[in-house]
Amino acid sequence: MRPADALCLCLDALRGHRRRSLMLLLAIGIGVLAVTLLTGLAEGARGFVLAEFSLLGRNTLIVLPGRKETTGGVPPLTGLAPRDLTLQDAEAIARLPAVRRVAPLQAGQLEVSAGGRRREALVLGTSREFFAIRQLQVSQGQPLPPLPFGQAEAVCLIGAKLRRELFAERPALGEWLRAGDRRFRVIGLLEERGESLGMDFAELLIIPVASAQALFDREGLFRVFAEVRGPLLLDSGKRQILALLRERHEGEEDVTLISQDSMLAAFDDILGALAMALAGIAAISLLVAGVLIMNVTWIAVSQRTAEIGLLKALGATPRQVHGLFVGEALLLALLGALAGLLLGELLLWIARLLWEVPLRAPLWARLGALLLALATAVLFAWLPAAQAARLPPVQALRPPGAR
């Protein structure tokens, strides 16, 4: 039997049992679609998180007050409150040889009002260096003036959404607004950027860090951003900052230092494992489809004994008969898998347009789903096909009542 003849027989058998073929196509297609969508969502989340953290730059270190580490026990309830990070700490860090620029941060929620309009907003106190470290652009006006960390000034920058809600269509540059019990003059408008690392820049009010300390009546800093002079100085910069703060904090290492690489590695590992777990869960549906393939192939063998007998009477070998039934299952699996892949890619493309998130199934997931669908078809169709190959031609040609 020529391969072309075998293919024609497989196609005729599939066309002759349209409902059964459609059911198997649907089962395989849903399994592959599930793998594509779930891994695409996981990979999209991974890409989004990594892109967010990459905005910090490879040379940026984040200093947090308190030692964040896992010991396995219950955390102490009293007596071990972390020492605050102060503006003096930030100034000392800025004087280190490996450090290029430093941006202290103070943050809190306050009611902001202008011209009778009011709303809650995130107020961020920082310095001019924050704009360079976080790659933050100004669409109109100017960034914060280059003030000493300890100098307060009644100036601010606002995000695009906050500007619309406070000033509507009126120009905002040069106008005054009230945050808490203090007034600030708008000197700049932030470029629209959306949310980054949990901070929505469109709703942000940025003021000098000393002004924020007075506004919140709080001396301790939320965190400190420090940018070293190059990737090769990252490790030495970490050591210098930790040694400096240990010396300033009476010999205690009571801060946590986070680099972009450590955050990226941690999130990459977590989200990579999540993608593999989701792919495994989705692959279970392909195993269910395999059981369906086996059951349908058993039924097909019992219904097509006369056809099997005729093929053998015409000279078909058991191996060729076995290959016909396995080939039918493989053809169905291939068509169903391709349909599932195409539908999955279409849905991910639509999601990318709607949400602007990099939702893409990785190549290993697409190839793995296709290969798993084909392997499932072969595995679960093998035994029924073997039974068909063992049928004697004379017995297969007898009427059902005479066997």
What's 3-42 look like in SS3? HHHHHHHHHHHHHHCHHHHHHHHHHHHHHHHHHHHHHHHH
**Mean pLDDT of the region 139-160:** 94
Mean pLDDT lowest among 80-84, 268-272, 287-291, 338-342: 80-84
C-alpha closest to that of 31 among 388, 363, 333, 352: 333
Burial of 311 (0-12, 13-18, 19+ CB in 10 A): buried
What is the enclosing helix (H) or strand (E) of 403? Answer: none
- The contacts of residue 61 (CB under 8 Å, 6+ apart) are 225, 226, 227, 228, 234, 237, 238, 241, 257, 258, 259
pLDDT of residue 314: 59
Q: What's the pTM?
A: 0.62
**Residue 13: Cβ within 10 Å count:** 19
Indicate the SS3 state at residue 169: coil
pLDDT of residue 80: 45
State the Cα–Cα distance between residues 378 and 382, nearest whole angstrom.
6
Bigger pLDDT: 48 or 138?
138
Question: Cβ distance 248 to 224 under 8 Å?
Answer: no
pLDDT of residue 403: 47
Residue-averaged pLDDT of the chain: 80
Length of the chain measured in residues: 403
**Residue 72: Cβ within 10 Å count:** 4
Reported as a pLDDT band with limits 50, 70 and 90, residue 179 is very high
- The contacts of residue 353 (CB under 8 Å, 6+ apart) are none
DSSP annotation of 96 reads: S
What percent of the chain stands above pLDDT 90?
34
Indicate the SS3 state at residue 151: coil
Reported as a pLDDT band with limits 50, 70 and 90, residue 300 is low
The pLDDT of residue 285 is above 50: yes
- What letter represents residue 53's amino acid? F
Tokens read off for 73: 């026990």
- The contacts of residue 373 (CB under 8 Å, 6+ apart) are 28, 31, 32, 286, 289, 333, 334, 336, 337, 340
State the Cα–Cα distance between residues 232 and 193, nearest whole angstrom.
30
The pLDDT of residue 68 is above 80: no
- For 251-281, the pLDDT digits (tens) are 888 888 888 777 667 677 777 777 778 778 7
**Mean pLDDT of the region 188-211:** 83
Reported as a pLDDT band with limits 50, 70 and 90, residue 16 is low
What is the enclosing helix (H) or strand (E) of 107? Answer: strand 99-114
DSSP annotation of 81 reads: P
Phi, psi of 402 (to 5 degrees): -95, 0
H-assigned helices in 218-259: 234-248
List, in sequence order, every beta strand (DSSP E) within 115-215.
Answer: 117-126, 138-141, 155-158, 176-179, 182-190, 195-196, 199-200, 204-208
H-assigned helices in 181-233: 209-216
**Exposed e or buried b per residue across 15-54, where buried means at least 16 C-beta atoms within 10 angstroms of its C-beta:** eebeebbeebbebbbbbbbbbbbbbbbbbbbbebbbeebe
State the Cα–Cα distance between residues 182 and 215, nearest whole angstrom.
7
**Mean pLDDT of the region 46-72:** 70
Reported as a pLDDT band with limits 50, 70 and 90, residue 3 is low
**Residue 113: Cβ within 10 Å count:** 15
The pLDDT of residue 75 is above 50: no
pLDDT of residue 92: 95
State the Cα–Cα distance between residues 333 and 340, nearest whole angstrom.
10
State the Cα–Cα distance between residues 371 and 360, nearest whole angstrom.
19
Pairing outcome for strands 155-158 and 255-259: unpaired
The pLDDT of residue 400 is above 60: no
Mean pLDDT lowest among 167-176, 283-292, 310-319, 379-388: 310-319
Reported as a pLDDT band with limits 50, 70 and 90, residue 2 is low
**Mean pLDDT of the region 179-193:** 92
Reported as a pLDDT band with limits 50, 70 and 90, residue 128 is very high
The pLDDT of residue 69 is above 60: no
**Mean pLDDT of the region 116-136:** 91
**Mean pLDDT of the region 364-370:** 86
State the Cα–Cα distance between residues 63 and 235, nearest whole angstrom.
14
Bigger pLDDT: 176 or 230?
176
The pLDDT of residue 48 is above 70: yes
**Mean pLDDT of the region 154-172:** 92
The pLDDT of residue 225 is above 60: yes
State the Cα–Cα distance between residues 138 and 159, nearest whole angstrom.
9
